Amino acid sequence: MKENIKFKKNISGAEALIHCLLEEGVDLIYGYPGGAIMPVYDELYKFSDKLIHILTRHEQGATHAAQGYARTSGKVGVAIATSGPGATNLVTGIADAQIDSTPMVCITGQVASHLLGSDAFQETDIIGISTPVTKWNYQITKASEIPEIFAKAFYISKSGRPGPVLIDITKDAQFEKFDFSYSKCKGIRSYFPEPLIEIDQIGLAAEVINNAKKPFIVYGQGVILGEAENDLIKFIEKTGIPSAWTILGLSAMPTDHILNVGMVGMHGNYGPNMLTNECDVLIAIGMRFDDRVTGDLSTYAKQAKIIHLEIDPAEINKNVKADYPILGNCRDSLKLLYDKVKNNSHNKWLEKFSELMKIEYEAVIKNDTIPEKEGLTMGEVIISINKYTKGDAVIVTDVGQHQMVACRYAEFIRSKSNITSGGLGTMGFALPAAIGAKMGAPDREVIAIIGDGGYQMTIQELGTIFQTRTAVKIVVLNNDYLGMVRQWQQLFFDKRYASTEMTNPDFVTIAKGYNINSNRVNQRKDLDKAVKLMVDSDEPQFLEVCVEKEDNVFPMIPSGASVSDIRLK
Amino acid sequence: MDNKTTYTISLYSENNVGLLNRVSAILLKRHINIESFSTSPSEIPDVFRFIIVVNISEEKIKKVVQQIEKQIDVIKAFYHTDKETIFQETALYKVKSSSLFEERHIQNIIKKSQANIVTVSPEFFVIEKTGFREETEKLRNKLEPYGLMQFVRSGRISVTKAKMDVSEILNSFKNKN
């Protein structure tokens, strides 16, 4: 008899939960077991041929892995944990997914419903705790609620501006038997994921673009989330408009595209930042004017007319007032705009970006990438990685100097390839995220680039790599400092290096303890060989590169300064 | 400095556990104090209405209402100035019964302020007054010398002068699905 998954008589809530995940196309979840979620784990055991569970070494690792998985696969990442500390350990990853719009469903066990509020063992109010950092959350106390709530959770998480959803399930609801049936959620009456595009606005914006002398595009992750990469490239090529990426927009367009002029923001490129305050029309596509992008708002692009393509109405006029807001999925709005804009080129204007790039090259990039000094720079490591990946790898970064350097110099030829913690700036993100990223794109090369500080925040996930043999490549750029904080201390706190120097363990030995091939590079002459060996391998690899201790990342817009006050040194 | 104004937020939502927490978290995150708060069923079946009064700048109220409306269970949120709404608050005053019978003034006060006596017992009586904040406050000041045993005032309830298109939103959803 053919098994009908959509209807099941008299099954437990825990089993129903598994069927919900299968119905939503989930075949891989990350998590950590514990008392209040054991009935679900018992079902995971029974369904292990259909649903793989990856045991991370900490619940935070499960969330970051789920994020990495979501970002490379485009699917919803799923993380599962027990109540109490299991649940609270998820919070950092949830907050990260919320601010970086990553679709993720988190499932937490909860004490039995009759114990709620009694301060029972491992009881914590995870609904209350997670409310400010979730797109939606819900506590299930009856098994019969499971199908509808899970259908809603996946729908909410993935639709519109994606985000994390947390479902808390009491232990008695996991045990309770009921007749299961499942249908996917197609809409919620109080939720409007994609606002209707106003055609009039498209016409007005197109006219402004057609008349612009110095138009400039800044694109963000909305392009990747909306799968609008091709529409963006078509639009840019038709209009000839110079375009810059935000950190999360990076890889939406090949980095070597002639009209791709660099990164905006605090450690972005000189030209795009300077010329933000010179363009006459600024077209923001799927980005949210984060303060690390805009610097001082009162002097940000004041001379320009702002066109803002955005799916989330709450982002319109939040930081920068939009003269022409275009609500909706940018995949749709870019298509509509494309039809209305003229074929154009802006060669003289584009030349300005090249001129400023030359200045930046002489002042910064040359020293970063082909240094004359003895010590290794982070920049040359990235260049070496480019050489052997040819821009086709997924680069996962943590937070700090190495992240900025990687996002400045890494080359990309494919979308969904730059995975980093942008909005929240979560140190410890990269190692677990790389595990998820590799599982979300198993055929791709995945390289985690991490600082020595962030690496030690989630270093236990080496155990997950060991157990699953996930072929991620780990590059630790070790300067024995919390480098970005040290840089600020040098520049703004008179070199008072308060608690930023690290006495580090032998990272190579640690990786060896997890049976991961490992290598250390101290000298320039060994770098390329070590990187090549790492990239060529089909196994997990660890590479520590000891870089110059007190290098700084430039250019830099000092906190609170204007984008055009960007410093080259 | 920002120019602060009193705004009434009217929020139409599903009646789900935790939504109150979600809305107050939005205000908390921005360090905004809630002046008054009330919730009740609305004119639409199964749709709840929250009335929240805050004192903030126009720039801030716009952003806050956008964030509130973004919440999954919120159907629609509006904000209005006092001029755009009709609003009232209700206050209850518990006073010793002895003063009702011994002090003639107190009866005049009740009459003049158009308050109602809700209940009388040998020990105490309770006065109810509905009106603007200033009116319930004035009555409180007048009754204070007689010994207020308890005083409580409700959150603001308000209806707007302009139409709110919540039913239309729900109907268009129904028609689509």
Domain that holds residue A531: 374-546
Whether B89 contacts B111, CB under 8 Å: no
B2 falls in which pLDDT band (50, 70, 90)? low
Chain A residue numbers with beta carbons less than 8 Å from the beta carbon of B75 are 189-190
Backbone angles phi, psi at B40, to 5 degrees: -165, 170
pLDDT tens for A334-371 read: 999 999 999 999 999 999 999 999 999 999 999 999 99
* Structure-token match 């054991």, residue found: A38
Q: Same domain for A436 and A500?
A: yes
Q: Same domain for A203 and A173?
A: no
Does the CA dihedral A416-A419-A425-A426 come out positive or negative? positive
Backbone angles phi, psi at B96, to 5 degrees: -60, 135
Q: What's the mean per-residue pLDDT of chain A? A: 97
State residue A5's pLDDT score.
Answer: 54
Segment A218-247 shows an average pLDDT of 98
Q: Distance between CA B74 and CA B48 in Å, rounded?
A: 9
Tell me, yes or no, whether A361 lies in a domain.
no
pLDDT tens for A494-523 read: 999 999 999 999 999 999 999 999 999 999
Whether chain B has a CB inside 8 Å of the CB on A537: the answer is: no
Q: How many CB atoms lie within 10 A of CB B102?
A: 10
State residue A4's pLDDT score.
Answer: 47
Which of A277-281, A413-417, B53-57, B173-177 has the weakest average pLDDT?
B173-177
Tell me, yes or no, whether A563 lies in a domain.
no
Residue A462 has pLDDT above 80, yes or no: yes
Chain A residue nearest residue B29, CA to CA = A132
Q: What is the DSSP string of A134-177?
A: -SEEEEE-SGGGHHHHHHHHHHHHHSSS--EEEEEEEHHHHH-E
User: Which residues are paired to A53 by β-bridges?
Assistant: A29
Instruction: Give the minimum alpha-carbon distance from B170 to chain A in angstroms, rounded to a whole number.
Output: 6
Q: Distance between CA B157 and CA B51 in Å, rounded?
A: 6
Q: Distance between CA B166 and CA B177 in Å, rounded?
A: 17
Q: Which of A448, A377, A407, A340 lies closest to A68 in space, CA to CA? A: A448
**Minimum-distance CB partner of A190 among B29, B72, B177:** B72
CATH 3.30.70.260 placement within chain B: 4-86
* Structure-token match 């120019």, residue found: B3
Beta-strand pair A28-31/A77-81: parallel
Whether chain B has a CB inside 8 Å of the CB on A186: the answer is: yes
Whether chain B has a CB inside 8 Å of the CB on A117: the answer is: no
Contacts for A246 with CB less than 8 Å, ≥ 6 apart: A218, A219, A220, A221, A263, A264, A265, A287, A290, A293, A422
Q: Same domain for A204 and A168?
A: no
Whether B147 contacts B95, CB under 8 Å: yes
State residue B106's pLDDT score.
Answer: 87
Q: What is the DSSP string of A463-511?
A: HHHHHHT---EEEEEE-SB-HHHHHHHHHHSTT--TT-B-----HHHHH
DSSP H or E segment with residue A69:
helix A59-73
Whether chain B has a CB inside 8 Å of the CB on A131: the answer is: yes
For the packed helices A401-409 and A483-492, what is the interaxial angle rounded to 10 degrees?
Answer: 100
Chain B residue numbers with beta carbons less than 8 Å from the beta carbon of A186 are 177
pLDDT tens for A293-302 read: 999 999 999 9
**Minimum-distance CB partner of B72 among A132, A156, A313:** A156
B4-86 belongs to which homologous superfamily?
Answer: ACT domain (3.30.70.260)
Q: Distance between CA A170 and CA A175 in Å, rounded?
A: 9
Tell me, yes or no, whether A568 lies in a domain.
no
Check residue A186 and give left, alpha or beta (phi > 0: left; psi -120 to 50: alpha): alpha
Is-catalytic flag, A445?
Answer: no
Q: Which of A413, A383, A384, A408 lies closest to A397 in space, CA to CA? A: A408
Last residue of some domain: A319, A353, A387? A353
Q: Distance between CA A305 and CA A283 in Å, rounded?
A: 8
Q: Same domain for A163 and A89?
A: yes
Q: CB A189 to CB B21 under 8 A? A: no
Q: CB B66 to CB A136 under 8 A? A: no
Is-catalytic flag, A357?
Answer: no
Chain A residue numbers with beta carbons less than 8 Å from the beta carbon of B62 are 317
Q: Distance between CA A245 and CA A260 in Å, rounded?
A: 8
Q: What's the mean per-residue pLDDT of chain B? A: 93
Q: Which of A2, A82, A5, A1 lies closest to A37 in space, CA to CA? A: A82
Last residue of some domain: A127, A148, A181? A181
Residue A210 has pLDDT above 50, yes or no: yes
Segment A183-188 shows an average pLDDT of 95
Q: Same domain for A108 and A214?
A: no
Q: Same domain for A109 and A11?
A: yes
User: pLDDT exceeding 90 applies to what percent of chain B?
Assistant: 79
Whether chain B has a CB inside 8 Å of the CB on A25: the answer is: no
Segment A473-488 shows an average pLDDT of 98
Chain A residue numbers with beta carbons less than 8 Å from the beta carbon of B29 are 132
Find the DSSP H helices in A78-119: 85-88, 91-99
CATH code of the domain containing A127: 3.40.50.970
pLDDT tens for B48-90 read: 999 999 999 999 999 999 999 999 999 999 999 999 999 999 9
Q: Same domain for A401 and A538?
A: yes
Angle made by CA atoms A440, A444, A446, in degrees to the nearest 5: 80
Which of A484, A542, A554, A556 is catalytic? The answer is: A484
Is-catalytic flag, A554?
Answer: no
* Structure-token match 């041929």, residue found: A49
Q: CB A314 to CB B66 under 8 A? A: yes
Q: Same domain for A96 and A175?
A: yes
Is-catalytic flag, A1?
Answer: no
Which of A152, A171, A214, A305 is catalytic? The answer is: A171
Tell me, yes or no, whether A423 lies in a domain.
yes
Q: Distance between CA B53 and CA A208 in Å, rounded?
A: 40
* Structure-token match 């699953």, residue found: A468
Residue type, A384: S
Residues in chain B: 177
**Minimum-distance CB partner of B18 among A131, A188, A189:** A131
Q: Same domain for A519 and A481?
A: yes
Chain B residue numbers with beta carbons less than 8 Å from the beta carbon of A318 are 63, 66
Tell me, yes or no, whether A512 lies in a domain.
yes
Q: Distance between CA B28 and CA B43 in Å, rounded?
A: 29
Which of A59, A123, A145, A380 is catalytic? The answer is: A59
Residue A78 has pLDDT above 60, yes or no: yes
Chain A residue nearest residue B70, CA to CA = A314
Beta-strand pair B48-57/A324-327: unpaired
**Minimum-distance CB partner of B18 among A127, A156, A313:** A127
Tell me, yes or no, whether A359 lies in a domain.
no
Q: Same domain for A281 and A398?
A: no
Q: Distance between CA A375 and CA B17 in Å, rounded?
A: 58
Peptide bond just before B45 cis, omega within 30 deg: no
Q: Distance between CA A311 and CA A322 in Å, rounded?
A: 14
Residues in chain A: 569
SS3 A325: strand
Contacts for A262 with CB less than 8 Å, ≥ 6 apart: A244, A245, A268, A269, A271, A272, A353, A357
Tell me, yes or no, whether A90 lies in a domain.
yes
Chain B residue numbers with beta carbons less than 8 Å from the beta carbon of A132 are 22, 25-26, 28-29
For the packed helices A13-23 and A146-158, what is the interaxial angle rounded to 10 degrees?
Answer: 30
B88-153 belongs to which homologous superfamily?
Answer: ACT-like. Chain A, domain 2 (3.30.70.1150)
Q: Same domain for A176 and A71?
A: yes
The CA distances from residue A518 to A64, A205, A476, A531, in Å, are: 23, 54, 11, 11
Chain A residue numbers with beta carbons less than 8 Å from the beta carbon of B28 are 132
Q: What is the DSSP string of chain B?
A: ---EEEEEEEEEE---TTHHHHHHHHHHHTT--EEEEEEEE-SSTT-EEEEEEEEEEHHHHHHHHHHHHHSTTEEEEEEEEGGGEEEEEEEEEEEEHHHHHH-HHHHHHHHHTT-EEEEE-SSEEEEEEEE-HHHHHHHHHHHGGG-EEEEEEPPPEEEESS---HHHHHHHHHHH-
A2 falls in which pLDDT band (50, 70, 90)? very low
Which of A23, A122, A198, A502 is catalytic? The answer is: A122
ipTM: 0.92
pLDDT tens for B123-157 read: 999 999 999 999 999 999 999 988 899 999 999 99
Q: CB B29 to CB A317 under 8 A? A: no
Residue A3 has pLDDT above 70, yes or no: no
pTM of structure: 0.96
User: pLDDT exceeding 70 applies to what percent of chain A?
Assistant: 99
Q: Same domain for A395 and A534?
A: yes
Is-catalytic flag, A122?
Answer: yes
Chain A residue nearest residue B170, CA to CA = A189
User: DSSP label at A527?
Assistant: H
- Where are the extended beta strands (E) located within A293-417? 305-310, 324-327, 394-397
DSSP H or E segment with residue A223:
helix A222-225
CATH code of the domain containing A278: 3.40.50.1220
Tell me, yes or no, whether A43 lies in a domain.
yes
